[in-house]
Structure 1
């Protein structure tokens, strides 16, 4: 079932966001490796966990379809999660994969496992250009969390499979790591 109108983030190329971004945030937003691994390392010894917020077949938002290069009306697998350290959400993430490009992937079986933990084990994984936003995430409103200073997104490809991964860093992460709020 499609959601009602939402205010979508304004995405811009990563390089365009750099002048406004403190170097400590650049380290997080511009990294091209696994965010899951970075969160586990930064949060140690706290326990990392994925909290599944929503998973469904639906149509992507217009900007998501454009980023994936698919028609706006095409059906996609959507997954929204909170990446938590000791049950405290640090990142909200939304993944969008066109059904036509799933090619037998059983993503609905991920449950409380990180999509990144699977993706970054694929030897032919290609990450497209990163984009950044200072806008809050358009999902995850059922969690009592404050939006953080930055979000990022990119399309990751593994063979014919493609997924748009959007990650929004939360104020709780900034507070726990002593990072500036902007």
Structure 2
């Protein structure tokens, strides 16, 4: 089912612009539930994407994006702590506001190409997501929740990496549309 899930989520994995706005369009009430925002170790893929050395403090923010109470996206953003004193200082005060509002308000912020990626079923990121999902929702995350998209935002030379992981049910909706997709037969 892995390849089928990716194909059906392709629109979401490749959709440009603000994911928060696209997800919010699916219902009446959109909310960002902050699961964690703290200094944490940077993972190898994040370090590579941000071009950072092994050492140094990293700020990680993990959230659930919910529509009408339903969690649809688990997201993780990471940046070097030095960037919080400079170009990305607004991240500290985001609270439950979407990161997308910050990323798309400033036309000087550049985004890398979106990189779809299948998570390892037993990888650290997936285990972290499963634990947080259970604690936040009281239910287990779908075993098919494996496809994410990754990108790096650059502002005045400082970089912020964002990873967004989708529930498989989003495949039933076109990004930015309330219309359900026609079932594949």
Same fold (TM over 0.5): yes
From 153, 158, 179, the equivalent of 2:155 is 158
Deviation at 1:33, TM superposition (A): 0.7
2:109 alignment counterpart? 125
Give the number of the structure whose residues are more often helix, by fraction: 2
1:142 alignment counterpart? 132
From 39, 50, 57, the equivalent of 2:39 is 57
Aligned equivalents of 1:175, 1:116: Cα separation in 2: 23
Unaligned runs of 5+ in 2: 134-138, 174-179
2:177 alignment counterpart? none
Please list, as runs of the form range in 1=range in 2, the aligned pairs for 1:13-92 lying within 5 A after superposition: 21-22=6-7, 24-41=8-25, 43-44=26-27, 46-92=28-74
Q: CA RMSD in A?
A: 2.5
1:91 and 1:173 in contact (8 A); partners too? no
Please list, as runs of the form range in 1=range in 2, the aligned pairs for 1:90-129 lying within 5 A after superposition: 90-102=72-84, 103=86, 105-129=89-113
The answer to which of 146-155 and 29-38 deviates more is 146-155
State the number of aligned residues: 160
Deviation at 1:86, TM superposition (A): 1.2
- In the superposition, the TM-score normalised over structure 1's length comes to 0.77
Unaligned runs of 5+ in 1: 1-17
1:168 alignment counterpart? 165
Deviation at 1:25, TM superposition (A): 2.0
Aligned equivalents of 1:179, 1:53: Cα separation in 2: 34
Deviation at 1:175, TM superposition (A): 6.1
SS at match of 1:132: strand
Aligned equivalents of 2:75, 2:90: Cα separation in 1: 19
Deviation at 1:95, TM superposition (A): 0.1
